[in-house]
A and B are shown apart, each in its own frame.
Chain A
Amino acid sequence: MSRPMTRPMSRLIMGPFNRVEGDLEVHLDIADGVVREARINAPLYRGFEQILQGRAPLDALTIAPRICGICSVSQSAAAAAALGGLAGVEVPPNGRLAADLVLACETIADHLTHFTLFFMPDVARAAYAGQPWHDHAVARFTAIKGAASAEFLAARAGFLHIMGTLAGKWPHSLALQPGGTTQPVDMGGKVRLLSILGAFRGYLESRVFGDTLERITALDSPAALAAWAAEAPPASSDFRFFMHVAEALGFDRLGRGGGRFLSHGGFFGGGVWDGALSFFNPAQVIEHLDHAWMSTPTRPDADKPGAYSWCKAPRLDGRVMEVGALARQVIDGHPLARALAADEGATVRSRVIGRLLETARLLPMMEDWARSLRPREPFCAEAPLPDTGTAAGLVEAARGALGHWMTVENGLIKSYQIVAPTTWNFSPRDDAGVAGAVEQALVGTPAEGETPVAVQHVIRSFDPCMACTVH
């Protein structure tokens, strides 16, 4: 690509990118200390879509989750949804509730893993030494050593006991089947689930939010959020501390995205947001290959001219979409998320708020689902598969829209295509040369030095899972 060279341009290659899941390399063109262009390289290819071809359709339940150790259940859920569509099966209420509990558990665990272990350690970096809030950031969020890390990992371990109760284990469970789930609970199991949820609510309310989940969920505007944050000192909760640091560092102006959101829906309403809500038509999803090292959607070509990533470039009717918790909350119509999208757009700040808001909304939903389980009633329906057919499994993973498209012929998988959330967000340029969501969001980001911390904030605000991206 040619461009007018009016100022000296320097090229910075950043990688390995820590505290993201998987392998990521970022190429930046920088002038006047600001990113002018960004290219995202996913430097790993594994060929899962090839491996799935020719297998028994139900094998997708074993293979697809193993794409990733952190989004495992969401891959199971998408595969089970595709197979369920193929079978035309109706899942009994218990099976739906149990599958939702398992997926919501992974979603919340991932959101807080991101917040506590991946995103916040950057504000504890030495680059911010001298800031009035830095001592607290160091004590609480220093990578590996921070107090929040230890507290969170203990709480997370307890929370994941939901997996042992409803899905055998995590990651890589086969409990999610097209007809429901395989681990019914009795009354004792139901009580244990409520106990686990109660313990985790305690962690969220005391450490993460410093308030009730219902109070957080009821915040309906950025002004209400700011007023809530000002009610107590920043160090009194992790969310308040984030709000304080976000203001100090201008996170509400950093990493602004294109403002188009996609959600497949599920726990929350789905659709497309472009300043207004519209329906999502899956037939409009096309994967562009011009800048990916792929000769066909499943065949790699490491020497392809013009390519710079193993990641393909999905587009919705030709448009770049941002996916994730913020997208879900905006599309669902939560007033705070809608107002943030209108006022500041998708930014480092609003993406992080989106995850925490979603966490506060989801846990009470999980409590309702657990209370609705009916021991001794069915969890799983028989789901015989037809020999031939096509189906899609469209779900929402923690990181956003996840789709599995499956074609079965003569009882075997003929083709299997996966479009993962991070494929949307971290895509390379499309066939029209239009940059992907993160590539766009990085433009204008301050980039001084060899590891510009603002660039890291922007990248991590998307919570990339590169492993899923490059299945």
Chain B
Amino acid sequence: MAALEADTVGLPAALARFGVRILWHPTLSEESGVEAHAILNAVLDGRQPLDILCVEGSVLRGPGGSGRFQMLAGTGRSMAWWAEALAAKARHTVAVGSCAAFGGLPTAAPNPTDACGLQYLDDEAGGLFGPAWRGAGGLPVVNIAGCAPHPGWIIETLAALAAGMLGLDDLDTLGRPRFWADHLAHHGCGRNEFYEFKASAEAHADMGCLMENLGCKATQAPGDCNLRRWNGDGSCTDGGYACIACTVPGFQDSAAAFQETPKVAGIPVGLPLDMPKAWFVALAALSKSATPARVRRNARADHVVVPPQNRKPKP
């Protein structure tokens, strides 16, 4: 449902600009029941070409490998069966959301439904299709990860696929489109100055950086969330709560509670992935000691209590 508001005009209109026609969508299309079966069967027997198959939701393999935890209504067959059969006919297959990509929340311990993603279970290649699977167009499953993914990621990936612009080089090692996955959710965060000075929030609604105490993983999470923004000018971190790294495989089984930062000897574990820990600690100590009072006090307040100084007028 995240995609519905895409690009201020809505999903169908945004896709139509690129010649993408929705053949069938369970929440938008007119066709129900036997009318829907007719469309799906036409794809299976080759009468109806399918350029892009989009799958939302984890593949539920249980109970006992039967797939009965999710049946496609009216067909007597599991959704897992349908995903595999339709993907064999589609030019490209796209996993929309972290569930279809990596398994997502339903795979959280104890994974009650034996869930997995289309081509991954967490960061392990395999999933329903197996690691070697490739679509007719030559690509593995394209993983628009995120819970929920940004509507722009969905539209732009589908448009790029339709236009023949998206190749293997445009996907990262986990099949995520690099145009958004090569950024970090941290980039463009409105709390940037607090991060620089390690001036941390301690309570919800504090203005400070969320990394030290409140579980924020934005420095490790792929996504241009704070560059392109959500629902107008929003984002998780500017909304006052932690990035939970929902684009990362396995995010659902966080090492600590989602809104807490695990620490060893007072130092947060899970520092930026590509920075030597000793340097980070040294820089953090240095920047903490250099923190302006304005930043330190605002970090612990829910609105600006100390405004920036005005430059003194020149004599």
The answer to whether the Cβ of A222 comes within 8 Å of any Cβ in the partner chain is no
The answer to whether the Cβ of B240 comes within 8 Å of any Cβ in the partner chain is yes
| Nearest A-chain residue to B146, judged by Cβ | A172
Q: Which of B70, B110, B232 has the most CB of A within 10 A?
A: B232
Contact between chains at B148 and A69 (CB < 8 Å):
yes
Contact with A along B210-252 (1 / 0, CB 8 A): 0000000000000000000111111111111110101000001
Contact between chains at A19 and B241 (CB < 8 Å):
no
Contact between chains at B73 and A17 (CB < 8 Å):
yes
Contact between chains at B32 and A456 (CB < 8 Å):
yes
The answer to whether the Cβ of B302 comes within 8 Å of any Cβ in the partner chain is yes
The CA-CA distance from A124 to B115 in the complex, in Å, is: 38
Question: Which chain B positions have C-beta within 8 A of A118?
Answer: 27
Tell which of B6, B10, B229 touches A150, judged by Cβ atoms closer than 8 Å.
Answer: B10
Report B67-119 residues with CB < 8 Å from chain A CB.
68-75, 104-106, 108-110, 112-113, 115
Question: Which chain B positions have C-beta within 8 A of A61?
Answer: 258-259
Tell which of B13, B31, B234, B258 touches A164, judged by Cβ atoms closer than 8 Å.
Answer: B234
Chain A: minimal CB distance from B221 (Å): 14
The answer to whether the Cβ of B276 comes within 8 Å of any Cβ in the partner chain is no
Known A69-B2, A164-B233, A169-B234; judge A16-B240 contact (CB<8 A). Answer: no
Question: Which chain B positions have C-beta within 8 A of A424?
Answer: none
Interface size range on B against A: 35 or more
The answer to whether the Cβ of A165 comes within 8 Å of any Cβ in the partner chain is yes
Contact between chains at B28 and A167 (CB < 8 Å):
no
Contact between chains at A14 and B33 (CB < 8 Å):
yes
The CA-CA distance from A24 to B241 in the complex, in Å, is: 35
The answer to whether the Cβ of B35 comes within 8 Å of any Cβ in the partner chain is yes
Contact with A along B1-24 (1 / 0, CB 8 A): 110111111111100000000100
The CA-CA distance from A25 to B69 in the complex, in Å, is: 14
Report B32-77 residues with CB < 8 Å from chain A CB.
32-36, 58, 60, 63, 66, 68-75
Contact between chains at B1 and A174 (CB < 8 Å):
no
Chain B: minimal CB distance from A462 (Å): 15
Known A15-B74, A156-B5; judge A375-B303 contact (CB<8 A). Answer: yes
Question: Which chain A positions have C-beta within 8 A of B134?
Answer: none
| Nearest A-chain residue to B201, judged by Cβ | A182
The answer to whether the Cβ of B187 comes within 8 Å of any Cβ in the partner chain is no
Contact between chains at B113 and A46 (CB < 8 Å):
yes
Contact between chains at A25 and B73 (CB < 8 Å):
yes
Question: Which chain B positions have C-beta within 8 A of A156?
Answer: 4-5, 10
Known A18-B30, A160-B231; judge A153-B205 contact (CB<8 A). Answer: no
The answer to whether the Cβ of A58 comes within 8 Å of any Cβ in the partner chain is yes
Contact segment of A278-286, A356-364, A376-384, A415-423? A376-384
The answer to whether the Cβ of B288 comes within 8 Å of any Cβ in the partner chain is no
Report A415-441 residues with CB < 8 Å from chain B CB.
none
Interface size range on A against B: 35 or more
Chain B: minimal CB distance from A16 (Å): 4
The answer to whether the Cβ of A210 comes within 8 Å of any Cβ in the partner chain is no
The answer to whether the Cβ of A450 comes within 8 Å of any Cβ in the partner chain is yes
Contact between chains at A175 and B241 (CB < 8 Å):
yes
Question: Which chain A positions have C-beta within 8 A of B63?
Answer: 300, 302
Question: Which chain A positions have C-beta within 8 A of B238?
Answer: 168, 183
The answer to whether the Cβ of A56 comes within 8 Å of any Cβ in the partner chain is yes
Question: Which chain B positions have C-beta within 8 A of A163?
Answer: 230-232, 234
Contact between chains at A58 and B239 (CB < 8 Å):
no
| Nearest A-chain residue to B8, judged by Cβ | A157
Question: Which chain A positions have C-beta within 8 A of B310?
Answer: none
Contact between chains at A18 and B36 (CB < 8 Å):
yes
| Nearest B-chain residue to A153, judged by Cβ | B10
Tell which of B2, B11, B105 touches A63, judged by Cβ atoms closer than 8 Å.
Answer: B105
Contact between chains at B2 and A171 (CB < 8 Å):
yes
The CA-CA distance from A38 to B235 in the complex, in Å, is: 45
Chain A: minimal CB distance from B301 (Å): 9
Contact between chains at A47 and B112 (CB < 8 Å):
yes
Contact between chains at B242 and A174 (CB < 8 Å):
yes
The answer to whether the Cβ of B125 comes within 8 Å of any Cβ in the partner chain is no
Known A62-B258, A165-B233, A174-B242; judge A46-B35 contact (CB<8 A). Answer: no
Contact with B along A139-151 (1 / 0, CB 8 A): 0001111000110
The CA-CA distance from A167 to B230 in the complex, in Å, is: 10
Contact with B along A186-215 (1 / 0, CB 8 A): 100000000000000000000000000000
Contact between chains at B10 and A149 (CB < 8 Å):
yes
Chain B: minimal CB distance from A166 (Å): 8
The answer to whether the Cβ of B141 comes within 8 Å of any Cβ in the partner chain is no
Chain B: minimal CB distance from A295 (Å): 12
Contact between chains at A168 and B235 (CB < 8 Å):
yes
Report B162-220 residues with CB < 8 Å from chain A CB.
203-205
Question: Which chain A positions have C-beta within 8 A of B35?
Answer: 451
The answer to whether the Cβ of B128 comes within 8 Å of any Cβ in the partner chain is no
Q: What are the nearest 8 A-B pairs in CB distance?
A: A168-B239, A15-B73, A153-B10, A164-B234, A47-B112, A182-B240, A15-B74, A161-B232
Q: A171-B2, A310-B69 are in contact. List 19 more A-B contacts (CB 8 A).
A: A14-B32, A16-B26, A19-B30, A21-B1, A47-B113, A59-B258, A62-B244, A113-B4, A117-B28, A142-B30, A156-B10, A157-B9, A163-B230, A165-B232, A169-B230, A170-B2, A171-B1, A174-B258, A380-B203
What are 12 pairs between A and B in contact, CB < 8 Å?
A: A16-B72, A43-B70, A46-B58, A46-B106, A63-B108, A69-B148, A160-B5, A161-B234, A174-B241, A175-B239, A182-B204, A183-B239
**Contacts from A to B (Cβ < 8 Å):** 13-21, 23-25, 41, 43-48, 50-51, 54-56, 58-59, 61-63, 66, 69-70, 113, 117-118, 121-122, 124-125, 142-145, 149-150, 152-154, 156-158, 160-165, 167-175, 177, 179-184, 186, 300, 302, 310, 375-376, 378-380, 382, 450-451, 456
